[in-house]
Amino acid sequence: MEHCRHIGVISLFPGMLRSIFETSIPGRASMKGLVQFHYWNLRDFGTGSYHSVDDYPFGGGGGMVMKPEPLADALDRSLEALLDLSGGLLPRLVYPSPQGQVFTQGVAWEWAGSSRPLLFLCGHYEGIDQRILDEYLLEEWSAGDYVLSGGELPCAMMVDAVVRLLPGVLSNESSPVNETFSNGSFDYPQYTRPRVFRGKEVPAVLLSGDHQAIRRFREEVSRKKQQEIRPDLNGNPAGVSC
């Protein structure tokens, strides 16, 4: 049995993440015991009779800010639990944020290669009180250059990208080593049956049985597409080391 990774999330909507992580590849990885997901509902750490988690920003401005006390309590509780579960390994604390470095396949490989648990703090509103970022040294990672309403979707994207790289999660046939980004280019176009679909034929070389010709065809087509669409990826695109 491979080593089990622990992944925790602190969120106002843990149900969103639970439904994603119980499905498809993350769900199968967890059924196989390769990963364990842990959820903390931030509302449980809210203050007052309404379990409040947000407050007005000092200095004015629109919107609300996630206040520090519930965040600190949730972080303390989840950190302690993850430290315990992983035999004392310090979790990597991730705050999905549009102000972070952009998450890439290279980062996914790096996180997948470490045994440290991952703990995600999903923000909402205008974000979290800066003192939490400073006190807990949260790493800010962005899903891309756009603003989402909350950290759950970026968290789900990052977790999915990491989990599918954990040893034993994907079968050998669907090895992630040859995928887009991991070889400095794009993956090649895929075709399946039927051989003719709405008058469009599968490229003849794929039916030729000539493995060298097939490899050359796939390399050429994928390189051409990558150079047209993502010329910036030439070489070692996403800091990938695999």
Which parts of this chain interact with ligand SAM (CB under 6 A)?
Answer: 96-99, 122-124, 126-127, 142-144, 146-151, 154
In eight-state DSSP terms, residue 47 is: B
107 vs 170, beta carbon nearer ligand SAM: 107
Residue 2 DSSP class:
P
- For residues 127 and 226, which CB has a smaller minimum distance to ligand SAM in the complex? 127
Q: Phi first, then psi: what are they for 176, rounded to 5°? A: -75, -5
Least distance (Å) between residue 144 CB and ligand SAM: 5
Q: Which is nearer to ligand SAM, 14 or 123 (CB)?
A: 123
Q: Output the smallest distance, CB 164 to ligand SAM, in A.
A: 19
Q: Which is nearer to ligand SAM, 46 or 127 (CB)?
A: 127
Indicate the burial class of 84 (C-beta count within 10 angstroms; 0-12, 13-18, 19 or more).
Answer: exposed
Q: Which residue's CB is nearer to ligand SAM, number 141 or number 217?
A: 141
What is residue 209's DSSP assignment? -
Smallest separation, CB 54 to ligand SAM (Å): 11
Minimum CB–partner distance for residue 151 and ligand SAM (Å): 3
* d(C-alpha 57, C-alpha 60), whole Å: 6
Residue nearest to ligand SAM (CB): 123
Q: Going along the chain, which residue ranges are E strands?
A: 5-11, 35-41, 54-55, 65-66, 92-102, 118-121, 139-142, 196-197, 200-201
- Least distance in angstroms from the C-beta of 219 to ligand SAM: 33
* Best CA proximity match to 89, nearest among 3, 152, 209, 155: 3
